[in-house]
């Protein structure tokens, strides 16, 4: 569902295509004797039958980026569904109930916001999100079209009440790795230790446009923005490596230089030419890390470096942070151990690793119960071919998904069979 002519998949948040896949799982749940319902945000919840005090949960998403793959998100939903289906048939009865949450809109590609369904479910999505647009529709309109209620976001009303939150014993999400570590190291399963957050900024540089032939070399004569930018990039690369050597978990990317529609116009980038000293430049800067303090500490160093380099070249630098999302420094260690035990039982090799990408699991891991403790959260990664994701070439084999589903089912069953809290 949502297949496109390039062999990719287009299932934006709150689209008919996304709803169609959710409806498929609702029908499958019914056919399998599992309970299901939609919350007022349009998230689909599938549960084992029976009354339970505590619930062990899994979940993921079915939306995609434009021309995306069919495994990012969906692999976790399929694995979760199969796990519930097979465990529900078992006797003796479970101590805790099992629940699968199929979240709406995890990908930010549609409305520019990640994890719309899970954030809103915990009452943590800003009402201003409703005015974001995708395919010419406001989020508010797209939600209504899919029978979800935008008023819940307008009023910041969570669909998961404080009581319900209190009774989530654990949450485990399976996902494709979206990187190459497992394939390179030839491991079956990734046990996720942390989820990286990100801080993103635009850096705008302004100097002086001069004649390239008549202006002598050297900073005394030239206020060359492109040259200053090149030095900044090399120095930022050295700086991040220094921090990594000192034990920080960081990845840094300069994804865009001098090529953004709005910013070209505002900064007069169009005035740059082959025969001119560059008087304007800009670039994007993204730093990702699991530990918010490490990201903040690094960011302060990067700001100083950018301003010092700008001063050295006699130009001005303006830094505008447009997104700042804290990561999860450590996922629950007991659950990491449960997943490790499941891998050992199933004779599957594994590696411990942080998640470089954001997931709904990070939203759940950020939730606190009344006593201040966090909901215990874990993540299971399966390999994907060449680490490719967000592309029609995204692929995980049936065996890789089945291995992951077995680890997920074993871990969920362990947690649901014991009369103890995962934390």
- Summarize as ranges the residues that interact with Zn ion (CB under 5 A): 72-73
Q: State the minimum distance, in angstroms, from the CB of residue 356 to Zn ion.
A: 12
Residue 87 vs 109, nearer CB to Zn ion: 109
Report the C-alpha gap between 47 and 57 in whole angstroms.
9
Q: State the minimum distance, in angstroms, from the CB of residue 106 to Zn ion.
A: 5
Q: State the minimum distance, in angstroms, from the CB of residue 260 to Zn ion.
A: 26
Helix (H) or strand (E) holding 283: strand 280-289
| 246, 240 Cβ separation under 8 angstroms | no
Q: State the minimum distance, in angstroms, from the CB of residue 228 to Zn ion.
A: 37
The stretches of 101-246 forming alpha helices (DSSP H) are: 116-121, 139-145, 151-154, 162-166, 181-185, 225-245
Residue 191 vs 362, nearer CB to Zn ion: 362
Residue 285 vs 390, nearer CB to Zn ion: 390
Q: How far is CA 36 from CA 29, 62, 101, 127, 134, in A?
A: 7, 16, 10, 28, 28
Q: How far is CA 381 from CA 44, 189, 354, 391, 400, in A?
A: 23, 6, 10, 18, 10
CA 119 to chain centre: 12
Residue 109 vs 351, nearer CB to Zn ion: 109
Give the phi and the psi of residue 399 in degrees, each rounded to 5.
-65, -45
Q: State the minimum distance, in angstroms, from the CB of residue 216 to Zn ion.
A: 53
Question: What is the C-alpha radius of gyration for the chain, rounded to an integer number of angstroms?
Answer: 24
| 171, 59 Cβ separation under 8 angstroms | yes
Report the C-alpha gap between 194 and 189 in whole angstroms.
15
Q: State the minimum distance, in angstroms, from the CB of residue 61 to Zn ion.
A: 6
Report the C-alpha gap between 332 and 167 in whole angstroms.
17
Q: State the minimum distance, in angstroms, from the CB of residue 62 to Zn ion.
A: 10
Residue 269 vs 379, nearer CB to Zn ion: 379
Q: State the minimum distance, in angstroms, from the CB of residue 134 to Zn ion.
A: 17
Q: Where are any strands of DSSP class E within 328-376?
A: 350-355
Q: State the minimum distance, in angstroms, from the CB of residue 63 to Zn ion.
A: 9
Residue 60 vs 159, nearer CB to Zn ion: 60
Residue 11 vs 99, nearer CB to Zn ion: 11
**Structure tokens, 422:** 């995962």
| 100, 58 Cβ separation under 8 angstroms | yes
Residue 72 vs 177, nearer CB to Zn ion: 72
Closest among 406, 341, 345, 357 to 176, alpha carbons compared: 357
């Amino acid at each position: 569902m949502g297949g496109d002519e390039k062999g990719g998949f287009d299932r934006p948040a709150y689209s008919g295509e996304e709803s169609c896949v959710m409806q498929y799982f609702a029908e499958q749940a019914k056919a399998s004797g599992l309970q299901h319902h939609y919350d007022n945000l349009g998230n689909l919840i599938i549960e084992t039958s029976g009354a339970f005090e505590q619930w062990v949960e899994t979940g993921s998403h079915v939306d995609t980026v434009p021309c995306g793959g069919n495994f990012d998100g969906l692999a976790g939903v399929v694995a979760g569904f199969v796990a519930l289906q097979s465990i529900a048939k078992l006797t003796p009865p479970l101590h805790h109930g099992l629940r699968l949450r199929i979240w709406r809109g995890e990908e930010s590609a549609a409305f520019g916001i990640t994890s719309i369904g899970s954030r809103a479910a915990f009452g943590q999505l800003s009402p201003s999100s409703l005015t974001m647009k995708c395919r010419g529709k406001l989020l508010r309109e797209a939600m209504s079209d899919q029978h979800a209620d935008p008023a819940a976001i307008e009023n910041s009303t969570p669909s998961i009440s404080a009581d319900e939150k209190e009774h989530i014993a654990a949450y485990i999400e399976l996902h494709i790795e979206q990187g190459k570590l497992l394939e390179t190291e030839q491991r079956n399963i990734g046990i996720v230790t942390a989820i990286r957050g990100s801080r993103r900024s635009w850096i705008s540089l302004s100097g002086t446009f001069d004649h390239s032939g008549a202006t002598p070399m050297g900073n005394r004569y030239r206020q060359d923005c492109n040259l200053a930018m090149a030095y900044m990039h090399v120095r930022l690369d050295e700086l991040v490596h220094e921090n990594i050597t000192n034990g920080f978990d960081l990845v840094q990317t300069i994804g865009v230089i001098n090529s953004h529609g709005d910013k070209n116009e505002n900064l007069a980038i169009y005035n740059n030419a082959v025969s001119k000293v560059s008087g304007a430049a800009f670039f994007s800067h993204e730093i990702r890390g699991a530990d918010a303090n490490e990201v903040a500490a690094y960011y302060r160093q990067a700001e100083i470096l950018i301003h010092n380099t700008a001063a050295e070249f006699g130009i001005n630098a303006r830094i505008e942070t447009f997104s700042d999302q804290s990561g999860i420094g450590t996922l629950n260690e007991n659950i990491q151990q449960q997943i490790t035990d499941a891998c050992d039982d199933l004779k599957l090799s594994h590696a411990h690793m942080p998640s470089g990408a954001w997931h709904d699991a990070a939203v759940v891991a950020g939730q606190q119960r009344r006593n201040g403790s966090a909901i215990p959260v874990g993540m299971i990664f399966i390999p994907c071919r060449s680490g490719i994701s967000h592309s029609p070439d995204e692929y995980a084999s049936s065996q890789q998904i089945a291995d992951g589903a077995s680890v997920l089912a074993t871990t969920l069953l362990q947690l649901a069979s014991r009369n103890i809290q995962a934390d």
